[in-house]
Amino acid sequence: MTDFLQNNGFLLVTMVQQALLAMSLYYPLMCGQLSLASPGFYALGGYVAAIIGTIEYFAPWRDSLGWVIFPLEWLAAGIISGFLAVLVGIPALRLRGIYLALATIAFVEILRVVCLNLEITGGAIGIFGVPQLFESRWSYIWTFGPLLMLMLFFSYRLDRSRVGRAFKAIREDELAADAMGINPTRYKVLAFVIGAVLAGVVGAMSAPFLNTWNARQGTFDASIAYLAYVLIGGSRSMWGPLLGGMMLSALPEILRPLKDSRLIINGFVLVFASIYMPKGIAGAVGNLKNFTTRILGIGRSEK
Amino acid sequence: MTTAQFLQNLLNGISIGSVYAIFALGYTLVFSILGIINFAHGAIFTLGAYFTYTLAVGEFGINGLLSGLTLDLQIPFALSLLIGSVLAGMVGVLLERLAFKPLRTRGADSLLALVSSLGVALVIVNAIQYLVGAEIYTFPSQVYGDIKPAMMFEVAGQSVVVRTVQVIIFAVCMVILTLLGYVISFTRIGKALQAVAENQTTASLLGISVDKIILVTFFMSGFLGGLAGTLVGTSFGIAGPYFGVTYGLKGLAVIVLGGLGSVPGAVLGGIVIGLAEAFVPPDYSAYKEAVAFAFLFIVLLVRPQGLLGRSMIQKV
Interface check A98 vs B, CB under 8 A: yes
Question: Looking at chain B, which residue has its C-alpha nearest residue A229?
Answer: B115
Q: Can you list the pairs that A276-280 forms with residues at least 24 positions away whose Cβ atoms lie under 8 Å? A: A277/A232, A278/B103, A278/B106, A278/B108, A278/B109, A278/B112, A279/A234, A279/A236, A280/A230, A280/A231, A280/A232, A280/A233, A280/A234, A280/A235, A280/A236, A280/A240, A280/A243, A280/A244
- The reported pLDDT for the residue numbered A299 is 56
pLDDT bracket for residue A80 (50, 70, 90)? very high
pLDDT over 70 at A182, yes or no = yes
Query: Could you tell me if A241 and A19 are in contact, meaning their C-beta atoms sit under 8 angstroms apart?
Result: yes
pLDDT bracket for residue A303 (50, 70, 90)? very low
Residue A232 to residue B115, Cβ atoms within 8 A:
yes
Interface check A231 vs B, CB under 8 A: yes
Residue B301 to residue A103, Cβ atoms within 8 A:
yes
Residue B112 to residue A231, Cβ atoms within 8 A:
yes
- For residue B310, tell me if it sits in a domain: no
Inter-chain CB pairs, A–B, below 8 Å = 127
Helix (H), strand (E) at residue B163: strand B158-163
- Best of B38, B115, B256 to mutate (most A CBs within 10 Å, chain A): B115
Interface check A194 vs B, CB under 8 A: no
Question: Looking at chain B, which residue has its C-alpha nearest residue A175?
Answer: B316
CA B177-B180-B183 angle, to 5 degrees, is: 150
Residue B60 structural domain: 3-302
**Of the partner residues B120, B127, B252, the one whose CB lies closest to the CB of residue A102:** B252
Helix (H), strand (E) at residue B151: strand B150-155
Distance from C-alpha of B90 to C-alpha of B223, rounded to nearest angstrom: 8
- For residue B105, tell me if it sits in a domain: yes
A100-144 tens-digit pLDDT: 888 898 999 999 999 988 888 888 888 888 888 888 888 888 999
The mean-pLDDT minimum among A66-75, A94-103, B47-56 falls in A94-103
**Rounded alpha-carbon distances, angstroms, from residue B16 to B27, B114, B262:** 17, 27, 20
Question: Looking at chain A, which residue has its C-alpha nearest residue B117?
Answer: A271
B316: helix, coil or strand? coil
- For residue B276, tell me if it sits in a domain: yes
Predicted ipTM?
A: 0.84
Residue B293 to residue A271, Cβ atoms within 8 A:
no
DSSP of chain A? -HHHHHHHHHHHHHHHHHHHHHHHHHHHHHTT-----HHHHHHHHHHHHHHHHHSGGGHHHHHHHGGGHHHHHHHHHHHHHHHHHHHHHHHHTTS-HHHHHHHHHHHHHHHHHHHHH-TTTTTTT-B--PPPSSSSSGGGHHHHHHHHHHHHHHHHHHHTSHHHHHHHHHHH-HHHHHHTT--HHHHHHHHHHHHHHHHHHHHHHHHHHHS-B-GGGS-HHHHHHHHHHHHHH-SSSTHHHHHHHHHHHHHHHHTGGGGGGHHHHHHHHHHHHHHH-TTHHHHHHHHHHHHHHHHHT-S----
A191-219 tens-digit pLDDT: 999 999 999 999 999 999 998 898 888 88
A212-269 tens-digit pLDDT: 898 888 888 788 888 888 888 888 888 999 999 998 888 878 877 776 677 788 788 8
How many structural domains compose chain B?
1
Per residue of chain B (316 residues), what is the pLDDT tens digit? 788 888 889 999 999 999 999 999 999 999 988 888 899 999 999 999 999 999 988 888 877 788 877 877 778 888 999 999 999 999 999 999 999 999 988 887 777 888 888 889 989 998 998 888 888 888 887 777 777 777 888 777 788 888 888 888 899 899 999 999 899 989 999 999 999 988 888 898 988 899 999 999 999 999 999 999 999 998 888 888 888 888 999 999 999 999 888 888 999 999 999 999 999 988 888 888 889 999 888 888 888 888 887 765 554 4
Dihedral pair phi/psi, residue B55, rounded to 5°: -75, -40
Residue A106 to residue B316, Cβ atoms within 8 A:
no
**For residue A20, which of A165, A189, A203 has the smallest C-alpha distance?**
A203
Helix (H), strand (E) at residue B54: helix B41-56
- The reported pLDDT for the residue numbered A96 is 72
Distance from C-alpha of A200 to C-alpha of A42, rounded to nearest angstrom: 5
**Of the partner residues B99, B124, B130, the one whose CB lies closest to the CB of residue A260:** B130
Query: Could you tell me if B88 and B48 are in contact, meaning their C-beta atoms sit under 8 angstroms apart?
Result: yes
**Bridge-partner residues for B59, per DSSP?**
B70
Distance from C-alpha of B197 to C-alpha of B21, rounded to nearest angstrom: 20
Distance from C-alpha of A46 to C-alpha of B78, rounded to nearest angstrom: 49
**Of the partner residues B111, B294, B304, the one whose CB lies closest to the CB of residue A110:** B294
Interface check A118 vs B, CB under 8 A: no
**For residue B228, which of B72, B67, B89 has the smallest C-alpha distance?**
B89
Question: Looking at chain B, which residue has its C-alpha nearest residue A260?
Answer: B130
- For residue B170, tell me if it sits in a domain: yes
pTM of the model: 0.87
| Ranges of each domain in chain A | 2-296
- The C-alpha of B96 sits at a distance from chain A's nearest C-alpha, in angstroms, of 12
Query: Could you tell me if B196 and B210 are in contact, meaning their C-beta atoms sit under 8 angstroms apart?
Result: yes
A25-47 tens-digit pLDDT: 999 989 888 888 999 999 999 99
- The reported pLDDT for the residue numbered B212 is 92
Q: Give me the sign of the Cα torsion angle A26, A32, A36, A42.
A: negative
Q: Which residues from chain A sit within 8 angstroms of residue B98, using beta carbons?
A: 271
**Of the partner residues A98, A261, A271, the one whose CB lies closest to the CB of residue B116:** A271
**Of the partner residues A116, A269, A271, the one whose CB lies closest to the CB of residue B99:** A271
